[in-house]
Structure 1
Amino acid sequence: MTKVACIYELRNYQHQWIKDIWNSWKRGNRRVLAQLPTGAGKTICFAHICQKFFQKQQKVLVIAHRIELITQAAEKLEQIVGEPVGIIKGGCAAHPERRIQVASIQTLARRDILELPLNIGLLLFDEAHHSSASSYRRLIEHYQEAQILGVTATPQRIDGQGFQELFDDLVVGISTSTLIKEGYLSKFRLFTTNQTISTIGVKKSRGDFRAKELAVAVTSQIGVDEIFQNYLKYAKNLRTVIFACSLEHSRALAAKFRRNGIKAEHLDGETPPELRVQILERFRGGETQVITNYEILTEGYDCPNIECIYCVRPTESSTLWLQMTGRVLRTHTLKPTAVIIDVTDNWKKHGLPDEQRQWSLEAKTLTASSSLGLIQCPHCTHAFKPLSHELAIVDGEIGEDGLLIEHHEAICPNCGQAVEFTTKETTEPILEKTYRIRIRHSLNIDLTEIDLSVSGTRLEMVYDMLYEQRLKNAQPAKIYKAIFMTFIERMSEFTLGDWRAIVKMIEPTELAITKKAWELYQEALDRHKNRLLALSFIEQRKLKNQDNPQGIKSTTDKPQTLGSTSKESVPKQQPQSPLIKENLGNVYFQRKYAQEWQKSLAKCSVTTAEFLSQNAGLFHVETTPKFVNISLEIENVPDLKLKLKEVYNSTEIQSAFSQGFGKQAKVMLRLAPSQTQSQSA
């Protein structure tokens, strides 16, 4: 078969990335993991690497971690390489003669070794941050003569597991910030809110929030109405991808947009492949304006037409966050600037996509606060949670403090080795199981744009100050204090973008740049505000001394603390009018589940049913085949906690609504916003 030249010309950084990969192989590293940011053209680079193996009459096997990405990967490779690609997937015709084969890890894991493709010179793992299971290891061991290449934008795992057992070397490509600076990726604007979604009390599993509890927490604080209204304010007419907190949440959002005349469609892992392709094509062509999704468009979907991502899904995973934001950074002629809307703390917790990252093959050390019940295998570094029967005591001993130390044994699901671990007896008393009433406050989300612009003039002023005060080698804390003191009069002019640049200048190795810059930005504004208050106080005292030159003290004069206001200057607050009860809950869900609501109240005690009918309404209902999440909006009446203690029994409520809705129910309470809050929002 003759060589087919690639139709895409490589950029300089792509040439360098490919060269670094080949150099690593030449140094004897057969298994190479290579990082390149989302949108930098990994598939184009694949195609050029493939050509080298074609020249040796060898084939290439590309592995994807999800079945739904197979077709897309094959189509992209066919376009770039210029020849047909074989797909190894149930229901697809086999073409073993084709030089590139694309398969899902699930498909190959189910097949016998003898059924695997032959004459493979390159085994390539796409989205390689998923490659830690035994199925990946099986393929690597099978293709002993092949070169191994894993590619990903985010070479890290949420559970802290490393890649040392699978790869010999890590090749890191160009940074996202450089790609943006050189115009290969889009600049972005960031819209956030001070009232972010609270995840306090939401349990975690394998390093991220548990799906069911997260869905209840999110939908009890922010409704689909508020999400839609902010879309109209900040992203109207923009082609938008919304990352929802659950499957049903995504469906509810799509339905809300459609009811208001905006073409929106929902995607999840259960969407049939044919329908998924049609939905994405309608979005790509502009027929669909909004796509809502749950855990489906976080990686593997390349659409330069995306103009905005709207994140309503808190996550503990920086990998997931970077994959979500990466969807919107691809350039397009009709998209001068990308828009990121985040109503969570993700942007502060994980940083912005243009920050430097420290990638490594090594495993992260699990701490007590982050392990979440996980143990780490000493043989392969895999982090996992022991099964219930593996918590049985194998042996025990008494420690110096008199407490029992229990020894256990678990089997690592990755490498199959036995792992010993210990637990220690606790001195805390075992309490009877109680049901706490968890009330989440509703949010009046008001988005504002975070100014990420950088002023060259202000940075030059800071640099000059460092030189003049001889602070270039001083401790960062001392330098920041000097900046506050030197520029106190102009602190309000410094943007978050300025502070990010300052942190990069002063602490070039700092990884959490945005988080550190945000703290400095807030402190600077507080110092500036206090400065203005102090100047105002001094000015008032001067004026008072001019009016009373003899220094006679007035009986009406009262001392004031900094920033305080005298009683005379504070207008009397008018009593708040009671909330209109018709405003409780969400009209859409009230009407849709009217019968289930009545059935649920009928199963409650008389006092509970009377309280709920007078003071509560359905705010959000999310159903799945097995369970239902329900958010009730409660009127903030006087002595609410006391009344809830009298009438609200968690077990009774869960049971009543389970019977009323015909599924296992989890009920969350949400305080209705006060009338004054609603007016000011």
Structure 2
Amino acid sequence: MYKLFDYQQKLVDEARQKLAHNDKGVMLISPAGSGKSIVIAEIARLTTERGNRVLFMVHRKELIEQMTESFKQQDVDMSLCTLMTVRKIANRLGKLPKPSLIICDESHHSRAKSYQKVYDYYSDVPRLGFTASPWRMNHKGFTDIYDDYVEGPTVQWLIKHNHLAPFHYYSPILKDFKTEKLKASSTGDFTEDSIEQALGKTIFGDVYQKWQQYAGGQKTIIYCHSIEYSQKVADYFTKQGIRAVHVDSKTPSAERDQIMQDFKDGKILVLCNVDLISEGFNVPDCSCSLLLRPTKSLVIFIQQSMRCMRYVPGKKATILDMVGNAIRLGTIPNDDIDWDDYFHGSYKKKQDPKTIPATCPHCFGIFNRKDAEVRCAQIHQDKDELKVDRLLINQPQWVLDKLKETGELGKIIICPLCHQVAELTQIKPREDRKEQQDAEYIDIGSEQNHSKWLAQLSTSHTRSITRIYDIFAARKELEIPNSSGKQVNNPLFSTFSVLMHKSSKHTISEKKLHQLADHLEKDYAYVHGQYAWASNHWHFEDHDQLDLTTQLSKDFY
């Protein structure tokens, strides 16, 4: 039997307590690598010990095989357990024995139709859902599936207490990562075609060179966006004398199992894949994750970047992000994410600039930019004329003045009402391919560089109280003003101001204050006293102060 760590036993106890007081069920949120399978197995053991039946489901058969082994090692009564993929269960409803408890792993997938079919059929059976990231691309919450949630320790706590490996995170943040060609599909993430265009004619030597520079010799998993791309990366590494192999979901089962075993045994040093090695794959001595797949999914990012962070004494993991995912998502693995908004579905997506109404300066009509015609515009050196789609036409003087002031190339938006130029935006000259290849990589996980990276962020995707504090602290350290133009003098006061502006009741929960106290390693009484002082300072009927708080909040929401 496994001996649970204290934090794992606490998860078990809290889950059972909350399950006793909720009709639908409880979600358990704990970071990747924190040992959720052990917690699941222990709950299954306690359930079957009382003669009750357990139904365990997950979306991949490989995870079923791993969990079956965990159940057996934990002395679970397997005669009272059904372990199947969710699709098989959905096709066998009415034929399987009715469970007393449903356990779902990777339950961030549980909004899918197959999961809903199972839950609807067993509507009177309580459920437990396990996930490292309760996040959906459409930002819908989970309160219609689970009544409440239990949250495990943070990634930072697990690193500090030797349950996850510390890491270096290298990303090209000192040069703009070119993402203008990336386009989202109907599901929300980037399309394969747009990723191909964004990557262009990738020089695989650059990938290999960066790997050698930052992670040479480390057992590595490389995440790619397509089978063809993954095969080319593996082939290049092989030609350099590195034991590299590609594997994907279409690889024959026996061959795939052998490749995985060879990687675990150290016969393969670099394993290239496409969305295969993420959830549940456990190779403790793997110490490098190399990200070559751009994504908008926080779930995919967390699962892939943290795959190298399983704890081994003395290990220092390396995450090499060559596609700017950390920049795009605004987070790295040890950031403290506040999952409450995501669970409740109250997280608001950033508004697409194309949907923000615009006003035409000629007819004063209001329209959406997405409904207008967009063209490229260029000034001719010797003429007061504007070239638009190869046509020479006269344009308002303000357009000509703006182009001369900001540069020769711009993007114009034609008002759909009066057909005049309504808006103009400068287009910066694109850097050449050589400059992009030579973009400097720095370790944004280190204390100094992490502060610089935090200070550059204009939005907080995670929106946790500790996250907001860290950004204000970094801006104070680097003397970077907020959107209001004022320097940050008191990061704690600024943090409280932003959060009180966000809340309709202008209050901050006790849970968040405890999180901040732990983060600052200060007594709760100190943090609460500072909060009380900030609360008394703000009088929200004072419009001047409300405006200032609104300006502060623009940095985050």
TM-score category, normalised to shorter length: 0.5 to 0.7
Match of residue 32, structure 1, among 26, 32, 47: 26
Of 315, 318, 323, the match for 1:336 = 315
Q: Structure 2 CA distance, aligned partners of 1:298 and 1:46? A: 19
Q: Partner letter of residue 318 of structure 2?
A: V
Deviations 1:35-88 (A, max 9, x none): 0111111111111111221122122111111234322332333333366x5xxx
Pairing partner for 1:225 from 175, 182, 205:
205
- Tell whether the 8 Å contact from 1:33 to 1:150 is kept in structure 2 after alignment: yes
Write the letter of the residue equivalent to 2:120: E
Deviation at 1:191, TM superposition (A): 1.9
Aligned pairs (5 A) from 1:75-474: 75-81=69-75, 98-109=79-90, 111-115=91-95, 117-193=96-172, 194-195=174-175, 197-205=177-185, 206-220=187-201, 222-333=202-313, 336-348=315-327, 349-360=329-340, 361-364=343-346, 369-370=351-352, 427=417, 441-442=432-433, 443-445=436-438, 447-450=440-443, 452-454=445-447
The 1:245/1:135 distance shift into structure 2, 3 A limit, reads closer
Deviations 1:354-386 (A, max 9, x none): 11111132224665735999xxxxxxxxxxxxx
Question: Which blocks of at least 5 consecutive residues in structure 2 are unaligned?
Answer: 356-364, 369-414, 421-428, 482-557
**Among residues 48, 53, 56, which one is paired with 2:42 in the alignment?**
48
Amino acid at match of 1:18: V
Residues 508-541 of structure 1, C-alpha deviation per residue, up to 9 Å, x if partnerless?
815367776776777679xxxxxxxxxxxxxxxx
| Distance in structure 2 (CA, Å) of the matches to 1:219 and 1:294 | 18
> Following TM superposition, by how much is the alpha carbon of 1:453 offset from its aligned partner in structure 2, in angstroms?
4.6
Paired amino acid for 1:218 = L
2:378 aligned partner: none
After TM superposition, give the deviation of residue 247 of structure 1 in Å.
2.1
Change (3 A) 1:214 1:171: same
Q: Is the 8 A contact 2:57 2:105 kept in 1?
A: yes
SS at match of 1:292: strand
Q: How big is the shift at 1:285? A: 0.6
Is the alpha carbon distance of 1:513 and 1:246 closer, same or farther for their aligned partners in structure 2, counting shifts above 3 Å? farther
C-alpha distance in 1 between matches for 2:142 and 2:439: 42
Partner-residue secondary structure (3-state), 1:251:
helix
Contact 1:267/1:276 (<8 A) preserved: yes
Residue 10 (str. 1) matches residue 4 (str. 2):
yes
CA RMSD of aligned residues (A): 3.5
**TM-score normalised by length of structure 1:** 0.55
* Superposition deviation, residue 263 in structure 1: 0.9
Bigger Rg, which one: 1
Query: Residue 467 of structure 2 aligns with which residue?
Result: 511
C-alpha distance in 2 between matches for 1:370 and 1:243: 28
2:351 partner letter: S
Give the SS at the match of 2:467. Answer: coil
* Equivalent runs, 1:508-547 vs 2, <5 Å: 509-511=465-467
1:254 maps to a residue whose letter is: A
SS of structure 2 residue aligned to 1:162: coil
Q: 1:23 is aligned with what amino acid?
A: Q
Partner of 1:369: helix, strand, or coil?
A: coil
How does the TM-score come out when normalised to structure 2? 0.66
> In 2, are the aligned partners of 1:496 and 1:521 still within 8 Å (CA)?
no
Contact 1:196 1:345 in 2 (8 A): no
Tell me which amino acid in the other structure corresponds to 1:340: I
Rounded Cα–Cα distance in structure 1 between residues aligned with 2:345 and 2:105: 20
* Structure-2 separation of matches of 1:178 and 1:403: 49
Deviations 1:610-638 (A, max 9, x none): xxxxxxxxxxxxxxxxxxxxxxxxxxxxx
Aligned 8 A contact 1:61 1:122 in 2: yes
1:28 partner SS: coil
**Paired letter, 1:180:** I
Kept in 2, the 8 Å contact 1:245–1:313? The answer is yes
Whole-Å Cα distance in 2 between the matches of residues 287 and 259 of structure 1? 16
Residue 320 and residue 139 in structure 1: after superposition, are their counterparts in 2 closer, same or farther (change >3 A)? same
1:495–1:521 Cα contact (<8 Å) kept = no
How far, CA to CA, are the matches of 1:519 and 1:159 in structure 2? 31
Q: Residues 513 and 224 of structure 1: is their aligned pair in 2 closer, same or farther, counting only changes over 3 Å?
A: farther
Amino acid at match of 2:344: E
Deviation at 1:176, TM superposition (A): 0.8
The DSSP-based 3-state class of the residue aligned with 1:511 is helix
Q: CA deviation at 1:107?
A: 1.9
Measured in 2, the distance between the counterparts of 1:315 and 1:302 equals 22
Aligned amino acid, residue 212 of structure 1: D
Judge conservation of contact 1:127–1:152 (CA < 8 Å) in 2. yes
> How far apart are 1:255 and its partner, in Å?
0.9
> Tell me, what secondary structure is at the counterpart of 1:51?
helix
CA 1:276–1:517 in 2, change beyond 3 Å: closer, same or farther?
Answer: farther
1:440–1:19 Cα change, 3 Å: same
In the superposition, relative to structure 1, how do residues 403 and 513 fare at CA in structure 2: closer, same or farther (>3 Å)?
closer
**Does the aligned pair in 1 maintain the 2:25–2:148 contact within 8 Å?**
yes
Q: Is the 8 A contact 1:47 1:80 kept in 2?
A: yes
Match of 2:14 in 1: 20
Asked if the contact 2:338/2:465 (under 8 Å) is kept, the reply is: no
8 Å CA contact 1:207, 1:371 repeated in 2: no
Q: Could you tell me which residue of structure 2 aligns to residue 74 of structure 1?
A: 68
Residues 384-434 of structure 1: CA deviation (Å, up to 9, x unaligned): xxxxxxxxxxxxxxxxx8999xxxxxxxxxxxxxxxxxxxx964979xxxx
Paired residues of 1:243 and 1:313 also in contact (CA < 8 A): yes
Shift of 1:344: 2.7
Secondary structure of the residue that 2:7 maps to in structure 1?
helix
Q: In the TM superposition, what is the alpha-carbon distance from 1:258 to its structure 2 partner?
A: 1.1
Structure 2: how far apart are the matches of 1:314 and 1:345? 7
Measure, in 2, the Cα distance between the counterparts of 1:499 and 1:254.
Answer: 31
Alignment length, in residue pairs?
407
Aligned equivalents of 2:472, 2:137: Cα separation in 1:
22
Q: Please give the per-residue CA displacement for 1:589-626, whole angstroms capped at 9, x wherever unaligned.
A: xxxxxxxxxxxxxxxxxxxxxxxxxxxxxxxxxxxxxx
Q: Which amino acid aligns with 1:450?
A: D
* Structure 1 stretches lacking a partner, 5+ long: 1-6, 86-97, 374-400, 405-424, 431-437, 455-493, 526-681
The equivalent of 2:450 in structure 1 is: 496
Q: Any conservation in 1 of the 2:286–2:308 contact (CA below 8 Å)? A: yes
Query: What SS does the aligned partner of 2:100 have?
Result: strand
Is the Cα contact below 8 Å between 2:45 and 2:74 reproduced in 1? Answer: no
Q: Secondary structure at the match of 1:186?
A: coil
| Partner Cα distance (1:427, 1:147) in 2 | 56
Q: 1:451 to 1:354 in 2, by over 3 A?
A: closer
SS at match of 2:317: strand
2-side partners of 1:288 and 1:240: how far apart? 9
Going from structure 1 to structure 2, the CA distance change for 1:43 and 1:81 (only over 3 Å counts) comes to: farther
Whether contact under 8 Å (1:321, 1:350) holds in the other structure is: no
Q: Which amino acid aligns with 1:356?
A: D
The equivalent position to 2:58 in structure 1, one of 41, 46, 64, is: 64
**Shift in Å at residue 173 of structure 1?**
1.1
> Does the 8 Å contact 2:336/2:464 carry over to 1?
no
CA gap of 1:402–1:354, structure 2 versus 1, over 3 A, is closer
